[in-house]
Structures are given as C-alpha cells and as structure tokens.
A and B are shown apart, each in its own frame.
Chain A
Amino acid sequence: MLNKRRVLTLLVPFIIFIIGAIFLATPLLKGSDPSKLDSALIGQAVPEFTLQDIYDADKQYDASIFKGQKMLLNVWATWCPTCYAEHTYLNKLAKQGLYIVGMNYKDDRKKAIRWLKDLNDPYKISLFDKSGMLGMDLGVYGAPETFFIDSNGIIQYRHVGDLNNKVWNDKLLAIYEDMQ
C-alpha cells in the first residue's frame, strides 16, 4: 500500500538528480570545452587604438580600419605553436578572398616579419601589438584567437584556438556568412 503523496515527495531527490544529470551530459555530448570563453565584446565596436604596421614602424593604424567590410581579425604570435599550425589555413582563406587583418601579439618584430615572409602573408593589414595593449582591450587570453567583425566594425563572434577545415565548415563559415 503506497501513500501516493509521500511517494511524490520522496521522488523529489530523484527528479533533481535527473535534471542535474542532463546538464552534466550536454557538455559531454556537445564536446564543449569549459576553458573556452565567449568574448565580452560581442555586439560592441573594436576598441580605440593606435598601432604600428608590422613592416613599417612609421605607418600607424586606428580602429577605423575595421569599417567598410566584414572581416576577420586574427591574433597570432611566433611563440605560439598553434598559430603555426593554423597559418596554412589562413592563407587558404585569404586566397578565397576573405579580408583578414592580423594582429601580432606580444612578439618580436623581426621574428614576426620572417615568419610572414617564410610562410606567406595572408593579412591585408598587419598590426604590431608589442605591449599587448589592444590585446588587453580585446580580452585576448591566448593566441590564436580570431574575431569576426562586420562591416560596421562590430564584433560578432570570437573563435579561440586554431582555424582549420573542420571548425570552419562546421561552425564558423555560417557565422561569417550571417554577418553583413
């Protein structure tokens, strides 16, 4: 003889557990990485800055370069092995006609120029952020990172980690195409 109300009350721990289990299962099934963070700047314009061109210290850029067309902003450095792995794919994307701006982050200028000469330069503009000033304002926490910026200069997405065929086709291409 079961007391229905009592059973229902005592079922509460079970129900809470099942809900919890679903939340524990989703990141595993989706394979999401807890160490990857969303950018705090999504929906905002690229912060103001003044940075030198990597090749030419006399040439300076500011945030206005991000307006006019949709583009990618790739943060890289020669001390970053994943950036090396990613570089070939960036060249491929550049060949497809994507507008990519590079930001060399906390690096050595000479090494960076050599890297670009040796591995080909996929960037329309190459910024040189020696002190990590723009990196800090963009909330960069580990190279490589790629920001998706629309034609109004608004950041729409940030990808942390390398760009490769798989992530590009699975996820990033759609985000890129949705941008204006």
Chain B
Amino acid sequence: MLPEIGQFSLILACILSLLQTVYPLYGVHTGHQGAIRSAKIFTILQFVAVATSFVILSYSFLINDFTIGYIATNSNSALPWYYRLSAVWGAHEGSLLLWVFLLSTWSIAVALMSKRLPIESVARVLAVLGLLAFGFYLFVILTSNPFDRTLPYFPIDGRDLNPLLQDFGLVIHPPMLYMGYVGFSVAFAFAIAALLEGRLDSAWAKWSRPWTMAAWMFLTVGIALGSWWAYYELGWGGWWFWDPVENASFMPWLAGTALIHSLAVSEKRGVFKSWTVLLALSAFSLSLLGTFLVRSGVLVSVHAFASDPTRGLFILGFLVLVIGGSLLLYAIQASKVKSRGRYQLVSRESVLLINNILLIAALIVVLLGTLLPLVHKEIGLGSISIGEPFFNRMFTILIVPFALFVGVGSLFRWKRQQLNDLKKPLTMILILSTLSTVIFLFTFAPSLTWLAVMGTFLGFWIIVGVIYEIYLRSTHRHRFSKGVMKLGNSHWAMSFGHFGLAVMIIGITMTQNYSIEKDVKLAVGQHIAFEHYDFHFDQVKPHNGQNYTATMGVFTVKKDQQEIAVMEAEKRIYTVQRMPMTEAAINAGFTRDLYIAMGEQLPDGAWAVRIYYKPFIRWIWLGPLLMAFGGLLMLCDRRYRSKKDNIENSENKPAPVGGTDA
C-alpha cells in the first residue's frame, strides 16, 4: 500500500509542477494577481508531494520491503541501516527521485526566501523551475519508476548495494553533487525569467548571485568528496581519473566558477550581461548534459549507471527542448541588451573577463576530450581514447596565465588601472612568492623538476597576492588591525576562494611530482624502507564485518626508527555479491599520506603489496573546502540578506580600490 501512495504522490507532484508552470505564467501574461500568487502555493504543494514520495521510498528501504524491485536489487537485510538509507540514491531510479526532490527543495527555498523581489519575477522563476521539474517527473514516472513492484513473486532478500557504495563518502557525495547540479537550475530559471521579461539589469545579477554561489558551493564540496572517495575506496591511490562521469561534474563547475565571477562584474559594473546570461544557461545545461552522459550509456565509464537507450533518448529530447529552447530565446532577447559600463583594456573588468575566457577554454578542453571519441567513432574513424596525459598537459598550460591573473586580479581597479601603479605591488609579490617557493621546495621537495617549481610558484603567487591585497586594503584608510576588521564578508569570500585554489594547486603539484609508488612482494615478518619510512609486515589475520569477510594485513610503520603508526589493510569479500574489494590502509597527514593496499597472495605465501607515499595530497581536498567556505562567507554577506532591495545601494558602494590610490 505504502509504495502505491509513494507513486501516487509522485504523479501528483508531476501534475502540480505543470500547474506551477502554466498558471503563474498565465497570471503574469494577463496580470491576474491570484494566478501570480499561486506560483508559491503550487511550489509548496509540489514539495510536499515529492517529499512524501521520497520519505516513503527511504522508509521502505529501512524496513526492507523487497516487494519493491528497486529495493530488492539495491539493498539487503544484512546491510547496516545507514547504508540502507543511502542506498535510496545508490542506483538510477532512486538517484533521480533524489534529483527531483532536491529540485523541489531549491524551488521552495526560492519561493520562501524571495520576499523582497517583485512578485511577477518570482512567479516567472518558479514557473521555469516547475517546467524543469515537470520534465524530470515525466522521466521518472515513464522510464525509471522506483516504486515498481516485484509482486507476486518477491525475493526473500535483496541483491545488496554495490559494495563500492557502502561507504560514508558515498552517503553524502551524491546529495552534495546533486545539490550543486540542481542548484544551477535556479540561476538558469532567473536567467530565463529575465530573458522572458526582457530586463537584464544589475538587479537580476544581484538576485541570482547568492543562489549561484550556493549551488557552486555544494558542487565544489560534492566533487571534492567524490575525489576523496575514489582515492581511499578504489584502491588505486588516484584522486582524479578524467573519467567521463567526473568530467560531467567538472564541466558545470567550470561554467559555474566563470558565472560567479561574471555575475559579480554584471552586478557591480553592468557589463558583460549577455555573456553572464549565457554562462547561467550553460552551467545548468552542462549539468543536464552530465546527467545524459552518465545515464544513457553513450560513453564508456567506470561508474556509469546501467545504461538504457530509451532513457538516453528521453533525456536527450528533454535536453534539446530545455537547452535548445533557452539558447534560442537567448539569441533573440540578449541581442537587445546593451552594455552601459565603460572600461579600459587594463582594468579589473578585463582581467575578470580574461580569466572567464580561460575557464571556458578549460571547459572546452574537457568537453571536447569527453565527446570527441564519440564523434570520432560516429564518423567512422574508429575508437580513440582521450585521457589523463592529454588533459593534464592542457590544464598545465592553461593554469599558468589563469593563476597569474588570479593572484593579482584583485589589485586591479575597476574601469581603468594605471600599469605604473601596479609596478610596486607586482614586484613585491614576485619577490615574496619566489622566496616562499624556494623555502617550501627546499623543505619538502627531495629533488627539483620544472613542473614542481612552476606549480609551487603559481600557488605562492596567489597566496602572497591574496595576503598582500588584504594588507593594502586594510591599511588604505586605517591602521592594519582596524582596517582588517572592516573588510566585508564578500571580500573575505574572494580571499578564501583564491587561497583555496592556491592550496589545491600546491597539493596537486606536490602529489603529482613527488609521489612514490612501490609494488612489492612481502612475506609476514619482512619489511621495506623508503623515504625515511620503514614498513614492517607484522601479520595477516581474518576480520569479519556485518556483511563481509576480510583478510587483514597489519603493518607497523616507523619513521627514523620511531614507531608512528600501525596500519591495517584489508581485502574484503562481500558475502551477497561475492565481490572482492580492496580496503586500503591510509595514514593521513597534513604534509603526506601513507597508503597500503593488499594484493593477491602469491604461490610462495608472500603477498603482493602496494605502498604509496603521497605528499600533500590532503591539500587537494583542503583547497576546495576553503573555496566552498569562501562561498559560505559570501552568502552571509549582509547585502544578500537585507530586506530592502536597493539598487542604488549597490551602485554607491565604492568600487574596490587598487593598491595605491591615485
């Protein structure tokens, strides 16, 4: 009975989402106030309906209702309760339900938190969100119903959740990622609403900015979590594989990053407006494209969902309607937009646009790298692979100008910057960052490579640039201690965002250049030493979990004769799916990780063991967390929470000044 209610409320939500689109738009068109106000009511009702559906599916997972086919395939009664709950989004159908649930969550947030916006604008935005939801509801109901029953012959127990997904990282990774993907729909809806209305002004940029930032923040954390999970769970010690599925999440992130910067310019200076709108449309379009790539099976990937051409065609049709329609609307409406602001070549506007161009160039690298193999095969030229060597090379090239501009971009003044005024700060930053690089590499690098020197320098260039800029701004009118307290949240947001990027660049540089990998044959009692570390293989013992059996290798690690850790690496067999899994032992540290993965037992009784020394790998995830924290700071800025929506207010704010005031 319960599943039927779940299914029913899903259908109800579908109908409500259509009403949420049609009625308010009719209201805006005719000026019917009641119809305009109905947008909010339909949004709330739709949320209640889909939430009911989601809760019912989760509850059915908790009580092991194997009469539901989806649960029978993706859960098991021996599964711990928290994994039964996260199994809701462990496969295609449930993850789509999560997707629509989150879309509805964003919609209701917009409905409830936009009191200071004109009611017609909000109605339009909610109508667009309703239309997107409608498409996804149809998709769920018609092709991927999570409530399909296995009756009358239901299994006694389920086939279990994929052991790879039985992990804390995977409990929170998909919701975070989807919050990001789906969150861009708000920026998309604001853009479409503005295009429909024909008013692309600073107010539009101001309204969509916090929403975009929130979505970007979730996406950043989501991607970082995914990378972290892949690192410790897959047992290969890698943190990014340039797999199509990863690329699918990276593309909206690149577009979103460009968007949050471009929105800032559009809001503050009223320029780049049509570019900003295009980015807003792209960020969400790329999220949709990602969904298509992951679920249609057109590409080969490590972690794609079970593929199905019908589903693929459905999403593609939806994609064509949504993206094609919005781009067409864009072509017609954006041509009317005129840029009013004036700026010169050497100005903060230009620097921001140049980095926007670089971000989109990076996006094109990823897009072409992901899709070209498909086209290549389609036009009869055979299969090709595009992977790590290609992407790494391209990103190494693109990051150089990008990081250089990030480091000093905030020193540039709006409208016009005298290059002469930048001479002193640039020299200072150059000297200080070179010095930091030398000290850092001298302390942590065993040898020098060109790439390591360059990467570290770029990282410190940004860090020094950020700190120097904070210093200049604080001492502009006050003493440093007083001035630094006066810096706004938005300013700290920028500083943290850029600082996070620098931390990530340094982490990547160190990990890529100085990691050590040892594949060795070790018998119990033997040891291997490298990089001051000594790994002693103590014993092998059995170890059993709730739904798996494991063999555990125990290692004592010494550094310079001092015992620093006991590490336990497992080889697990999950009882239901009979799937072997490597559970690596990781000794994490701020400046290095030690990583041990057990391989096979060899005929002579010894074990194949892989040991990694990974310097600064934590920084790769610390960086994105700092960036996301920056985003959080911006959301806390008073400007976006004040009740009054005062355009003049934002215009009157003094444009951030450069290093030296002329």
Contact = CB atoms under 8 A, between A and B. Distances in A.
Interface residues of B, number: 33
B198 interface: no
A20 interface: yes
Contacts of B327: 13-14, 17
Contacts of A20: 371
A23 B324 contact: no
Contact of A23 (B331, B334, B378): B378
Given A13-B278, A28-B296, A23 B316 contact: no
B297 interface: yes
A13 B334 CA distance: 12
A2 B323 contact: no
A23 B376 CA distance: 10
A38 to B, nearest CB: 5
Contact of A25 (B313, B323, B330, B331): B313
Contacts of B302: none
Given A14-B331, A34-B374, A37-B383, A28 B313 contact: yes
A12 B641 CA distance: 37
A24 B383 contact: no
A21 interface: yes
B136 interface: no
B309 interface: yes
B316 A28 contact: yes
Interface residues of A, number: 25
A12 to B, nearest CB: 8
A14 to B, nearest CB: 4
Interface in B309-364: 309, 312-313, 316, 319-320, 323-324, 327-328, 330-332, 334-336
A68 interface: no
Contacts of B285: 17
Q: Is the interface of A mostly helix, strand, loop or mixed?
A: helix
Interface in A10-64: 10-11, 13-14, 17-18, 20-21, 23-29, 31-32, 34-35, 37-38
B383 A38 contact: yes
B382 interface: yes
B377 interface: yes
Interface in B379-418: 382-383
B257 interface: no
A7 B371 contact: no
Contacts of A95: none
B298 interface: yes
B375 interface: yes
A7 B332 contact: yes
Contacts of A18: 320, 324
B371 A2 contact: no
Contacts of A35: 300
Contacts of B278: 13
B299 interface: yes
B232 interface: no
Interface string B274-289: 1000100010010000
B296, B331, B371 — most chain A CB neighbours (10 Å): B331
A126 to B, nearest CB: 30
B378 A27 contact: yes
B292 interface: yes
A110 interface: no
Contacts of A117: none
A180 interface: no
B312 A28 contact: yes
A31 B378 CA distance: 12
B479 to A, nearest CB: 50
B351 to A, nearest CB: 24
Nearest to B367: A20
Contact of B334 (A10, A24, A28, A32): A10
A31 B312 CA distance: 11
B320 A13 contact: no
A6 interface: yes
Interface of B: 274, 278, 282, 285, 292, 296-300, 309, 312-313, 316, 319-320, 323-324, 327-328, 330-332, 334-336, 371, 374-375, 377-378, 382-383
8 contacts: A2-B335, A2-B336, A13-B327, A17-B327, A21-B319, A23-B374, A27-B377, A28-B296
Interface of A: 2-3, 6-7, 10-11, 13-14, 17-18, 20-21, 23-29, 31-32, 34-35, 37-38
Top 8 nearest A-B pairs by Cβ distance? A14-B327, A6-B335, A10-B331, A11-B331, A7-B335, A28-B312, A34-B300, A37-B383
